[in-house]
Structure 1
Amino acid sequence: MAGPAALLASISHQLRGLRTLRLLLGVGPQGDEAMACGPPRRPRPTAQTQTAGAGGSRHGAGDAHELGRTWGPEAEGKASGESPGGEAPGAARPGTLREAALRSKLARVAGAAARLVEAEQTLLLPLLQEHPFPVHLKDSIEFRNICSRMALQKEGQQFDRDLHEAHQCLKTIIEKLICSLAVFPSESYSPVRSTLRQILQNLLAI
């Protein structure tokens, strides 16, 4: 597919995947900067949020945090009936470091996806209206599907695999965009090529 309509469709699928990643992280729609820097800190509960949690009648950031706790060793421990109450004070729970590493990688993948969407909307779309080039829609659909699958997983190993696949799929999307732009030697394409290469470089460092 080629042209603005193809890119807009691709962006739409990427955004759906990105929203899922944000829910897993427990951040709002404007959480791109926090995701780029790493996993966000969970705010301390206030009387209002405690009341909302007890009543179950309010929805918002609290729901996102609950979604963020549906994966990883902590959730697995709850599912198996294990309780951290018997641990000695100051003792590190098994899997804590692994869960933190997973959350950090998830945050960085989401941050890369957010920067990619921004580059596509602000830099690629105007150029595409002048000079259409191929857009590989199926990769963005696959990214969305992987993210949706991640939201349903409760097993740590499966979540690891899905997160790796999401990382690789995002890498493929960026590489194909760079390849499509390579046929245009015009200097007007230099900023977007440079931006995509920087996003790819950051993604490869994860």
Structure 2
Amino acid sequence: MASTTSLQASVNHQTVALQTLRLLQEQRDQGQPTPQQVSAAPGQVSLTEQQEKGEGPAVATLGGEGNAVPQPRDPGQCTLARVAMRTVLARVVETTTQLVQVEQTILNPLRQELNFPIYLKDSIEFRNICCHMAQQREGQAFDQDLNAAYQCLKTIIKKLIHSLLSIPADVRALSCIALRQVLQNHLAL
């Protein structure tokens, strides 16, 4: 019975992580630029974006403190970075959804019949990374957490596949196929 509860605890941690990821995705999608904001000429911030920020054109400075030379920032890079981040976030959400579905529909009934190891620590770490991500703003720290979540999710799937190798081949076939498909979809990101 303890082994079944470890799988359920693992799924619960992943479900909390999934809920957090979905909220993050929803928040990030609400901040998506409108066509008016994106329609500025390359290298220029649109008037709407300037008004929302309450500032003039974005500039960066190059050189030392005494030799600062204003240089226009390319808002296209920021927009592309946001699009890339949203894409990775969406894929992590999709992979987590698929993983939880496989665990609930295939692995849970299998786990009740057979004993195979579950690595609860990885699911806890995944949940914690997602919760930490929720506290981050867009930027390098958020991107690092998103990458860590991606890697942790990959580790969880690989360890589940490895755990299934300890049970008879005829019983594990469907589970391994389903998990390998989730892993393949995840790695195709």
The two structures share one fold, judged by TM-score above 0.5 = yes
Among the aligned pairs, what percent are the same residue?
49
Residue 5 in structure 1 maps to residue 5 in structure 2: yes
Contact 2:116 2:167 in 1 (8 A): no
Aligned equivalents of 1:67 and 1:145: distance in 2? 22
How far apart, in 1, do the equivalents of 2:181 and 2:54 lie?
A: 44
Residue type at the aligned position of 1:102: M
Equivalent-residue separation in structure 2 for 1:107 and 1:179 (angstroms)? 26
Asked whether the 8 Å contact 1:113–1:170 carries over to 2, the reply is yes
Match of 2:157 in 1: 174
Match of 1:129 in 2: 112
| 1:83 to partner: Cα distance | 4.6
**1:152 aligned partner:** 135
Mapped partners of 2:157, 2:95: distance in 1: 10
Question: Kindly tell me: are residues 67 and 92 of structure 1, through their superposed partners in 2, closer, same or farther at Cα, counting changes over 3 Å?
Answer: closer
Counterpart of 2:185, as a letter, is N
* 1:184 alignment partner AA: I
Q: Which moved more, 1:1-10 or 1:123-132?
A: 1-10
Written as runs of structure 1 = structure 2, the 5 A alignment for 1:1-206 is 3-26=3-26, 65=27, 69=31, 82-83=53-54, 93-206=76-189
- Larger relative contact order (Cα-Cα within 8 Å, sequence gap ≥ 6): 1
Superposition CA RMSD, Å: 2.9
- Structure-2 change in CA distance of 1:66 and 1:195 (3 Å): closer
- Is 176-185 or 158-167 further displaced after alignment? 176-185
Q: Which runs of 5+ in 1 are unaligned?
A: 27-64
**For residues 156 and 17 of structure 1, what CA distance do their matches in structure 2 show?**
20
Could you say which residue in structure 2 is the equivalent of 1:46?
none
Counterpart position of 2:65: none
CA distance in 2, matches of 1:84, 1:205: 40
Distance 2:23 2:102 in 1: 22
- Aligned equivalents of 2:94, 2:29: Cα separation in 1: 18
User: In structure 1, what residue type is equivalent to 2:187?
Assistant: L
> How far has the Cα of 1:163 moved from its partner?
0.4
TM-score (norm 2): 0.75
TM-score by length of 1: 0.69
Give per-residue Cα distances to partners, 1:37-61, cap 9 Å, x unaligned. xxxxxxxxxxxxxxxxxxxxxxxxx
Alignment gaps of 5+ in structure 2: 38-48, 59-73
Q: CA deviation at 1:185?
A: 2.8
Question: Quick one: distance in 2 between partners of 1:135 and 1:23?
Answer: 27
Give the C-alpha shift of residue 2 in structure 1.
6.0
How far is 1:69 from its partner?
A: 3.9
DSSP 3-state at the match of 2:155: helix
